A and B are shown apart, each in its own frame.
Chain A
Amino acid sequence: MNNYMSIRFKSVSENEALARNCIASFVSPLEPTMEDMADIRTSISEAVTNCIVHGYDGKIGMVEMSAYTEGKKLTIKITDRGCGIHNIDKARQPLYTSKPETERSGMGFTIMESFMDSVKIISKEGKGTTVIMTKNIRENTEVSDAG
């Protein structure tokens, strides 16, 4: 089945869980494995946290998240209208963070890239950032408790 959803929420850290839960419900009809589900939740968390802590840098703005499924393929798009990224290649590098004075590890994009099948970053300084991630949901061979 092909499906689509979209939500907008305030850039506060409480909404990281909202975003994860929302996508989890959205993909559940595809019956992802526990590992795929955890990978998706973690990647959403990374992208949404980046909008909040970097894009809006603690200021209040709106984060937009949409998702669609085409068969077993999930696509998620997460957008902020914040500061944008000056150098995308640098931002993608493991351990690079523009906030070394805080407790950031610079692993966000590295985690998204390893947990999802593709991660695309579109950004314009002063305009904002969009991250588009895709993942093919694997066939679930885990034995269900139901039987």
Chain B
Amino acid sequence: MNSDVNISGTSLVYKIKGELDDHMAVKSRERIDDILLRREIKNIIFDFTELTMMDSAGIGLIIGRYRIIKDRGGEVLLVIGNSPAKKILRMSGLMKIFKAYDNLDAALTAVEHRVYG
């Protein structure tokens, strides 16, 4: 599967490579929600830096995970870099709702400061 999962403290880093369409969104949803059930995750960081395409299924994936995470007092962060997904994220207003970062380190630093600082 074209995705990597990494857990850093209470944050789940989910990296998707290639194309995020309906097919990939369903698979990602299953994989993330399974981890959310089993682990004490507060924040989800979507790493889209190696994404080459995203359609509306990606919007659904992000908002759906946010609904789960917000009940735990956590948040969703987006790492976008130069991904073409930027256009859709901006169009759909998601860039206004979620914090977006250029690289993963910046997003990880941001959550760590919030949790421990």
By a beta-carbon cutoff of 8 Å, the part of chain A in contact with chain B is: 13-14, 16-17, 20, 34-35, 38, 41-42, 45-46, 49, 52-53, 102-105, 107-108, 110-111, 114
B74 at the interface (CB under 8 A from A): no
Not counting A14-B23, A104-B60, A105-B92, a sample of 5 additional A-B residue pairs whose C-beta atoms are within 8 angstroms of each other reads A17-B23, A42-B88, A49-B21, A49-B22, A49-B56
Q: List B contacts of A38 (CB < 8 A).
A: 52-53, 84, 87
Report the minimal beta-carbon distance from B91 to chain A, rounded to whole angstroms. 6
Q: List A contacts of B25 (CB < 8 A).
A: 103
A46 to B55, CA, bound (A): 7
Q: List A contacts of B52 (CB < 8 A).
A: 38
Q: List B contacts of A110 (CB < 8 A).
A: 91
Inter-subunit contact A49/B57 (CB<8 Å):
yes
Q: How many residues of B contact A (CB 8 A)?
A: 23
Inter-subunit contact B56/A46 (CB<8 Å):
yes
Inter-subunit contact B55/A49 (CB<8 Å):
yes
By a beta-carbon cutoff of 8 Å, the part of chain B in contact with chain A is: 19, 21-23, 25-26, 29, 52-57, 59-61, 63-64, 84, 87-88, 91-92
23 A–B contacts from the bound complex (CB under 8 Å): A13-B22, A14-B23, A16-B21, A16-B22, A17-B21, A17-B23, A20-B21, A20-B53, A38-B53, A38-B84, A41-B19, A42-B53, A45-B21, A45-B53, A46-B56, A49-B21, A103-B57, A103-B61, A104-B56, A105-B56, A105-B59, A105-B60, A111-B55
Inter-subunit contact B22/A105 (CB<8 Å):
no
Q: List A contacts of B92 (CB < 8 A).
A: 105, 107
